[in-house]
């Protein structure tokens, strides 16, 4: 099975500061990778997905961007954080027709 | 695009009772329907999934049923235990194509009272 590593686990950042969340995957190659955001008490909103190195698709317009510099590395970034960027961010990996594996998430609080 | 609706948003049951969570989906091309359990502060974990070529799947106390005609599927938990308390998400996906996008429902917070 796949293992998804996400860090940091928690993060408190001031408004206007930059953001970089990293996700790495073990146990598979050439996976589809995803960033989801979960607002408090709400469902999982798909933000970005990637089917390969350098290939990023955005699902919703927002203040965030994603990059995939290596096959098993997926990065979520922002140049200037907004209060509304607060949430629980989850990275997920899926290889072909297998289940999706999630990381443990990063709780981001923008103050 | 695909839309998944999940009900109820919260569910409280007594230990030993059954719990049922229902989801509907919009894309008739969807043919893979997983259910995830999320404990507080953790990432979701797959508990059961079903593909469109079967109508029901069971794993111990957990079962999922699928009605492709009506485009809805349900999670059934029998003999609930306090450790079943968590947030449950349904999801739907069309297996064709390479994107592998899972579209999730809004989640159901299940509380099992001892």
- Interface with A, mutate which of B9, B42, B44, B51 (most A CBs under 10 A): B44
Average the pLDDT over A68-80 and give the result. Answer: 96
Per-residue pLDDT at B94 exceeds 70:
no
**Burial, A104: exposed, middle or buried (Cβ in 10 Å; 0-12, 13-18, 19+)?**
middle
Q: What is the pLDDT of residue B28?
A: 86
CB pairs < 8 Å spanning A and B: 61
Min Cα–Cα distance to chain B from A58, Å: 12
Average the pLDDT over A3-26 and give the result. Answer: 95
Q: What is the pLDDT of residue B98?
A: 60
Q: Are the beta carbons of B15 and B27 closer than 8 angstroms?
A: no
CB contact under 8 A, A92 and B102: yes
Min Cα–Cα distance to chain A from B46, Å: 7
Q: What is the pLDDT of residue A31?
A: 92
Say whether residue B98 is in contact with chain A using an 8 A CB cutoff.
yes
Apex CA A80: angle with CA A89 and CA A7, to 5°? 30
Nearest CA in chain A to B98: A51
Q: Are strands A10-13 and A3-7 parallel, antiparallel or unpaired?
A: unpaired
Q: Are the beta carbons of B36 and A43 closer than 8 angstroms?
A: no
Q: What is the pLDDT of residue A98?
A: 73
* pLDDT per residue as tens digits for the range A42-72: 788 889 999 999 999 988 878 999 999 999 9
Average the pLDDT over B71-100 and give the result. Answer: 88
Q: What is the pLDDT of residue A103?
A: 95
Say whether residue B10 is in contact with chain A using an 8 A CB cutoff.
no
Average the pLDDT over A79-100 and give the result. Answer: 89
Nearest CA in chain A to B44: A102
CB contact under 8 A, A97 and B44: no
* pLDDT per residue as tens digits for the range B18-33: 999 999 999 888 889 9
DSSP three-state, residue A13: strand
Nearest to B100 among A32, A42, A90 (CB): A32
Spatial separation of the C-alpha atoms in residues A55 and A75, rounded to whole Å:
12
């Amino acid at each position: 099975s796949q293992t998804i590593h996400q860090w940091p686990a928690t993060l408190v950042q001031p408004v206007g500061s930059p953001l970089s969340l990293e996700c790495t995957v073990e146990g598979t190659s050439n996976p589809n990778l995803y960033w989801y955001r979960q607002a408090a008490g709400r469902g999982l909103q798909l933000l970005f997905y990637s089917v390969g190195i350098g290939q990023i698709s955005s699902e919703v317009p927002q203040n965030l961007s994603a990059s995939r510099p290596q096959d098993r590395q997926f990065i979520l970034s922002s140049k200037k954080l907004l209060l509304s960027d607060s949430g629980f961010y989850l990275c997920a990996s899926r290889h072909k027709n297998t289940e999706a594996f999630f990381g443990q998430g990063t709780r981001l609080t923008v103050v | 695009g695909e839309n998944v609706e999940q009900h109820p948003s919260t569910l409280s049951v007594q230990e030993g009772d059954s719990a049922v969570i229902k989801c509907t989906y919009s894309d008739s091309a969807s043919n893979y329907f997983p259910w995830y359990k999320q404990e507080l502060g953790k990432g979701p974990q797959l508990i059961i999934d079903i593909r469109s070529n079967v109508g029901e799947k069971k794993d111990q106390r957990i079962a999922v049923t699928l009605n492709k005609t009506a485009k809805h599927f349900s999670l059934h938990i029998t003999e609930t235990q306090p450790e079943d308390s968590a947030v449950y998400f349904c999801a739907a996906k069309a297996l064709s194509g390479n994107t592998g996008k899972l579209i999730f429902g809004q989640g159901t917070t299940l509380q099992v009272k001892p």
